[in-house]
Chains A and B, each alone.
Chain A
């Protein structure tokens, strides 16, 4: 099993589906951010797996470097996202996204 690309890709697909469910279904904004992190991890796993089985010699290192870049971007995304959630929480006093309806007229 550890020698087949399919296993890693299906694993990444399942993790991505779990993350997308959490993003669509949870009410808490921080839960939604955690689901986004799950999805980013799934994509990272797929990238590393593709690099692992890549066609030429440098593909493994390139996939790993790309995954490192994705990790850094995920860190930036988490910082800004959580800052936005805290800023909204300071105004609305709730972390639940379905009560953020002040832009609805």
Chain B
């Protein structure tokens, strides 16, 4: 493990250098900085998403998932919904990722089979995933959306007004759902007395 740490640092340095050069090239190609940022965030998101589903070590999969969520939060902020980006960081990176890493560390065995990560249907699954992506891209490309005008950024004030005036009932229902999920999670993961340890 001590020998692997510098490798990770070198990989991070190379990744940062590549991203910086890519940003400079995109800016030099005449894209404005918003487009350049979107390209880079999209590349980081797709790349780390691929790492999540292909890496062997599941803890690294969890860390790559955090990177993926962070890039998505950046995309939300770039789209003009900064509150949603903040919620993404708090909920996904702060809560769900930590929960998943915790569960990974609870269920990791010493003789974890690192040789066979995929099931036998991995080949057909990859073909199906590629087909799904192509079909979505074709459907999006061939649809005529009509007149589209991009909105300007959405202020927190407007969004909170709509959330707490128009959508108060769903908000309360979601809080009840979260309470039910907490109770259900505690009940499911509870150790039964006398059961298997």
**Partner-B contacts on A (CB < 8 A):** 1-3, 5-22, 24-31, 33-35, 37-38, 41, 44-45, 48-49, 52-54, 57-62, 64-65, 67-69, 71-80, 82-87, 89-91, 93-96, 98
Contact = CB atoms under 8 A, between A and B. Distances in A.
B107 A95 contact: yes
Interface of chain A, main secondary structure: helix
A11 B126 CA distance: 18
Nearest to A84: B188
B52 A22 contact: yes
B102 to A, nearest CB: 8
Given A31-B61, A49-B79, A41 B92 contact: yes
Interface string B44-57: 01100110110000
A72 to B, nearest CB: 5
Interface residues of B, number: 90
B99 interface: yes
20 contacts: A1-B35, A6-B140, A16-B133, A17-B129, A18-B50, A25-B118, A25-B119, A30-B104, A31-B53, A41-B92, A48-B84, A57-B151, A61-B154, A71-B91, A74-B92, A75-B181, A78-B96, A80-B185, A82-B189, A83-B186
Nearest to A67: B84
Contacts of A65: 159, 162-163, 167
A64 B81 contact: yes
A65 B58 CA distance: 33
Closest 6 interchain pairs by CB? A13-B136, A22-B53, A21-B129, A76-B181, A24-B125, A17-B133
Given A18-B53, A21-B53, A25-B122, A53 B84 contact: no
Contacts of A71: 87-88, 91-92
B60 to A, nearest CB: 11
Interface in B113-151: 113, 116-119, 121-122, 124-126, 128-130, 132-133, 136-137, 140-141, 145, 148-151
A12 B83 CA distance: 20
Given A27-B118, A45-B76, A87-B188, 13 more contacts: A11-B42, A14-B133, A21-B129, A26-B117, A29-B107, A31-B53, A34-B61, A41-B69, A58-B162, A71-B88, A74-B91, A75-B95, A84-B188
Contact of A64 (B140, B150, B159): B159
